[in-house]
Structure 1
Amino acid sequence: MKLLTIDTSTSTCSVALTIDQRLAGEYLLQLDRTLTNRLLSCVDTLLSDAGIRTCDLDGFAVALGPGSFTGVRVGVATVKGLALAADKPVVGFSSLAMLAGNLPWSSYTVCPMFDARKKEVYAGAYRCNEVPLPLAADCVLPPADFLKQIIGPAIFVGEGAEKYRDLITSSKGADAFFAPWNVHQPRASAGALLAADLFTKGKTIPLAELNPIYIRPSEAELAKLHRHP
């Protein structure tokens, strides 16, 4: 199966091309504010270098969030457009599960964390065998509240773990472990493993139902609620 996987849920843009159980290529770039203009360029470069055309692909996959509202929206919209043009199926997966996938076969609980701003984190708790399995639903909370839910040793990974390292250490003590710096960025290749599992189980998503998972309402939605209580 030729699969293109895209993640834009953080300031890191990641695109992976997998063929059956082989990583044919991956493009990872810290894009920040230039995301919209550069994402399709990343896709074109990766496919061109691999000698693959969009019509040759068997499917697409995308990280649905949580994460940057703009980033997740751009990634989902891009995959919708590509899948519609190529008439190929699509699957979506949790951005936090993808990040947890950087630490397969960990004997400890893996806690991926993104900085959600407003003194909160997007966070989850996973058992990471070959494919990460959630131990609880992904959430957005103040980091101290999230840490109260984690029992026993855990590995913390992601930009949120880096930002709140001192708090995690003071809260968890000897039960706190931190992933090395080279795995703190989410990678589309880890998402491709989740995607392949979803395709195998037949869990494709109709394009009309492929939507971001923000967990918390956007600023625009909050403003609307305040205007119309």
Structure 2
Amino acid sequence: MSLLLSIDTSIDICSVALHERGRLTGLMELHQGNVHGSKLVPCVKSLMDQLGYRMKHLDAIAVAQGPGSYTGLRIGVATAKGLAFAHDLPLIGVDSLEALGRGVISQAEPNSYIIPMIDARRMEVYAAVLNHEGKTLVASRPEILDEKPFQEFLEKGKVYFVGNANEKAKKCLHSPHAIFRDGLNSASGVGEIAYEKLGRGEVADIAYFEPNYLKEFMVLKSKKNPLLS
């Protein structure tokens, strides 16, 4: 048996899953903002208790490594690293956008494209381009929607967009080839990819593993005078 625990905190959803030989056996998700820090570990424990597993039954820990929310990724990766180190388990990092796009493969026509997107505020998104089988054609990177970054793919054929930036993207991407599918980041997709990576021996170095933020985290300096507040 190959049992993987997967974590995805790329967006507001706190998502954990268990996969046995790559097949989803359990999923728990909280669709609430700002709960990763307090709810992630209890969710892991609750899911494993419900399915009758203990940490000793696991073969690896997988985590969505980004892009996505700075705070969410930091908490998810730190938790995954801590569990992997404490229980001497391999750690597997999975691209958040590749995992998001995994959920659309069954709906995609041959010779079409899949573009998973994560909202990065204003008119920016994090996006990747996959073929209809889920192979990455353009790696995850920041994009500005009003600059119409996906025109070359929309001109070639159908493009399936998925993620929490869809509503924003609909205002800019006007094309008969643009198809918007429901779907959000989930540990279910992370576990599928992680199982494949584990089979190829693609595991991370726990000591040096870090989230892939894509953009530098910036702290804005307050304009208020602290002496007057």
Is the TM value for this pair above 0.5? yes
Which 5+ residue runs of structure 2 have no aligned equivalent? 222-229
Q: TM-score, normalised by structure 2?
A: 0.89
SS in 2 for 1:217: coil
Q: SS at the partner of 2:67?
A: coil
- 1:67-82 equivalences under 5 Å are 67-82=68-83
- Which has the greater radius of gyration? 2
Q: Would the aligned equivalents of 2:119 and 2:126 in 1 still touch at CA under 8 Å?
A: yes
Instruction: Name the counterpart of 2:113.
Output: 109
Structure 1: gaps of 5 or more residues: 224-229
Distance 1:192 1:46 in 2: 15
Q: CA deviation at 1:26?
A: 0.4
CA distance in 1, matches of 2:152, 2:76: 31
Q: Which residue of 2 aligns with 1:227?
A: none
Q: Taking structure 1 as the reference length, what is the TM-score of the superposition?
A: 0.89
Structure 2 counterpart SS, 1:77: helix
How many Å apart are 1:138 and its aligned residue? 1.0
Q: How many residues align?
A: 214
Secondary structure of 1:117's partner?
A: coil
Q: Alpha carbon RMSD of aligned pairs, Å?
A: 1.5
Aligned twin of 1:166? 171
Deviates more, 1:73-82 or 1:120-129: 120-129
Matches within 5 A, 1:106-185: 106-107=108-109, 108-129=112-133, 132-145=134-147, 146-151=149-154, 152=156, 153-168=158-173, 170=174, 173-179=175-181, 181=182, 184-185=183-184
Equivalent in the alignment of 1:15: 16
- Name the CA distance, whole Å, in 2 between partners of 1:147 and 1:122: 12
Amino acid at match of 1:68: S
Per the TM alignment, residue 175 of structure 1 is displaced from its structure 2 partner at its CA by 1.0
Structure whose residues are more often helix by fraction: 1
Q: Distance in 1 between matches of 2:22 and 2:39?
A: 27
What are the superposed Cα offsets for residues 178-206 of structure 1, whole Å, 9 maximum, x if unpaired?
11x3xx21121111111011101101011
Q: CA deviation at 1:39?
A: 0.5
Same amino acid, percent of matched pairs: 35
Letter of the 2:187 partner, please give it.
Answer: A
